[in-house]
Amino acid sequence: MEKTKVFIDPTSRLLYSSYYIQGLYEVLGKASVSFSSAYFSDLKRSAEDFSFAHYFAFVVKKPGLEPQKFVIDFCDPPDIHPIAYTWCDRYAKINFNKSETEDIYLGKLIPIPPGFGIRIWSLWETVYTCGKNYLKARNRAIIGQKRFIKDYFQQWKRPLLKDYLNPSAEIDSRKKPYIFIIASLWTDKKSKETTNVQRKNFMDTVRQMECNFEGGFYASPDHDLAPTYKDLLFFKPYSTAAYLAKTKASYLVFNTPAVHGCHGWKLAEYLAMGKAIISTPLLNDLVKPLKHEKEIHYVHQDKDLKNTLDRLFKDVPYKESLEKEAKAYYNQHAAPKAVINQMLQTPLPVDFLVKNQQNCPKIS
């Protein structure tokens, strides 16, 4: 009996796509998923260099049916890529913001939660697939050979998905709570005034409390913002393994929208680990909102931070409830398998598309 097949665009950015390839493997089976250029000749990715970092494209071919074209947009800003949108049948967007999206783009759009880079192949499989895909993609190449290869090996250096899902390290409640956070120093104007400041406020507040703090901002000594954050800087990066282990051991975690107000990888990682998450309000929409005091605890002002930390340090059952609900949200909505199932099962609003076909963005 003929089975459903999935064909992935070999020009896709592997590191950012790995999470969703894992989902395809889990839903349809690894043997049913392959890379091919055959279905993507009309997807003009080379029209924009940034398309490599903007979206991931794949085609699902069910027996007896026309191929269905899918795009997963993992770009930080909320903008929709018009070339990809015109090409596909369903357009999944991580950083979807309805207030900043034109109605013309809503017909095919599916909001999805953020993901993160994971290792999906062995070293041998990474080398083999990288070489094979570069040959397949060379006539449609949108980046140089060195950058293309680097992305595959960045995937291989990432943790496996199961490394995030394993239980967190046990915390001895007789000791001071251990809090770990590392972050980048963003230089764009909006992030300098929001993301950097919010993370600094959290670090400063934690350091004044009865707990063991580790972390800060990773930056070079000559970073433009180094003087402002000098007491919170570290200059030697943590390994991914160390970051993962220390985040798991952290009593709680802090989240804030990152560059362009996006849902960063950290939010998805925290949900996968089942952490108690303190967060400033999210700016973009989710397929299902994270509810305050259920899956997440929102803080709106700096003064809320200390009160929230006090509560979580003292109220262990509340912290454990946040952890349990964060993990449940991940399993139901944000896991690779859940995202792919959502995309495959979301009905396409045919009436909307037919009515608006003449208004679809024209690509020259």
Asked if 288 and 333 count as a contact pair (C-beta separation under 8 A), the reply is yes
pLDDT band at 150 (very low <50, low <70, confident <90, very high): very high
pLDDT band at 48 (very low <50, low <70, confident <90, very high): low
**Which among 56, 54, 80 has a CA at the least distance from the CA of 70?**
56
Backbone angles phi, psi at 290, to 5 degrees: -80, 120
- Which helix (H) or strand (E) is 179 found in, with range? strand 178-184
Predicted local confidence at residue 50, as pLDDT: 61
The CA distance from 228 to 217, in Å, is 11
Query: Domains of the chain by range and CATH?
Result: 5-108+120-157+348-359 (no CATH), 165-334 (3.40.50.2000)
Cβ partners under 8 Å of residue 82, min gap 6: 361, 363
Look up the pTM and report it: 0.91
The CA distance from 269 to 161, in Å, is 10
Of the listed ranges 98-107, 131-140, 162-171, 242-251, the least confidently predicted one is 162-171
The CA distance from 162 to 188, in Å, is 34
pLDDT band at 176 (very low <50, low <70, confident <90, very high): confident
Which token pair is 254? 């802090």
| Span 218-235, pLDDT tens digits | 888 888 888 888 888 988
